[in-house]
Copies of this chain bind each other. A is one copy, B any other.
């Protein structure tokens, strides 16, 4: 279980976090703050929270950040923080702006030598992704992308079971992510999230595919380790006047011969955040459902169904480490998000202390996961426009 003591205590101080974006009313910024500080070993000390210096200072006051470290722009933040001595300046920055700002801000922070936690989807294009990969590699930055769903302990357990061959050879994968929050033209009501997510200039080339399809891709890739060989995508915009897709159905062929379906939607009336994956192999199968995250269902051919639960001794080390409470005391979204931060910040701390982070600590989504997600979005959009059934999918990290 997460203890919040060992190496963090040796480190002797809380890790210092900065934030870009995430001011008042921003949904995901508050999640990042709660997640980062969940284990009591991180403190928020600086930020460029909003688009104007005035708003940024108001947000800083909300978050008990001192006024002199509430910056008007991310450029100012980089400049001033860089000038502070180590131990006083931020140890890492969390970037939680709308998508279109991810690339310039992340690139600038990495280039300036900072470690970065970045929201998904990482950037707008594979070109940007590759540029970011190059920068991260050059700077040896700790760089995490908050694909939070793969940080749930039972997802880590699922990944482990696939690796151990508990499913045999995987034959079929169905990943779904239906929501309903954009079932009407929410973007016309002034709702901030809806507004930028449906705006190509800020959200990118995809709507639902970018926002939640990228999570679905990450869930499949993380658990199964399978590589997509070709895809056949069908994007739809159901709400009249909307500029980006709000529904996507994608058939997938994997390189091992497995078949897949990825189906995401933001117009499925009544669906809340029903991210779900089912994986069938020759010997076994798994199901995990985000809205019931503490459970993992496992079928082994011919045997009774098994329901595994968080907190038990039979789980793998990565799952155990990602847990804060005993069985039956449910953990949820914030705690999983916190697991990305836990591992990223433990890795940052190790880096600062000059020791090597363990494999368990380095278990967070990286710039490469982020890049694969961006390529996935590009290819799905491309396939959807094509009359040819199968579009090859050939992702190579950094290329």
A residues contacting B by CB (< 8 A) are 3-5, 8-9, 12-14, 24, 27, 30-31, 33-34, 37-41, 44, 61-64, 167-168, 171-172, 174, 176, 178-181, 183, 232, 234, 236, 238, 247, 249, 251, 253, 257, 259, 261, 263, 265, 267-274, 280-285, 290-294, 298-309, 311-314, 324-335, 386-390
Partner of A331, one of B8, B171, B334, B386: B334
Distance in angstroms from A41 CB to nearest chain B CB is 7
Residues of B within 8 A of A308 (CB): 304-305
**Residue in B closest to A336 when the chains form the complex, CB atoms:** B330
B267-A309 in contact (CB<8A): no
Partner of A307, one of B9, B176, B259, B305: B305
Distance in angstroms from A247 CB to nearest chain B CB is 6
Can you show 27 pairs from A to B with CB atoms below 8 A apart?
A4-B63, A33-B40, A34-B324, A38-B38, A171-B247, A171-B267, A183-B282, A232-B251, A232-B389, A234-B253, A236-B259, A249-B251, A269-B281, A269-B301, A270-B284, A270-B299, A270-B305, A272-B327, A290-B328, A291-B328, A305-B308, A330-B330, A331-B333, A332-B335, A334-B334, A386-B389, A388-B388
A14, A64, A324, A335 pick with most chain B CB within 10 angstroms = A64
A44 to B24, CA, bound (A): 24
Known: A249-B261, A324-B30. A267 touches B172 (CB 8 A): yes
B332-A183 in contact (CB<8A): no
A18 to B329, CA, bound (A): 25
**Residue in B closest to A36 when the chains form the complex, CB atoms:** B40
**Residue in B closest to A259 when the chains form the complex, CB atoms:** B236
**Residue in B closest to A284 when the chains form the complex, CB atoms:** B269
Q: What are the nearest 5 A-B pairs in CB distance?
A: A270-B299, A272-B328, A273-B328, A330-B332, A332-B332
Distance in angstroms from A119 CB to nearest chain B CB is 15
A301 to B116, CA, bound (A): 39
Residues of B within 8 A of A41 (CB): 64
A331-B332 in contact (CB<8A): yes
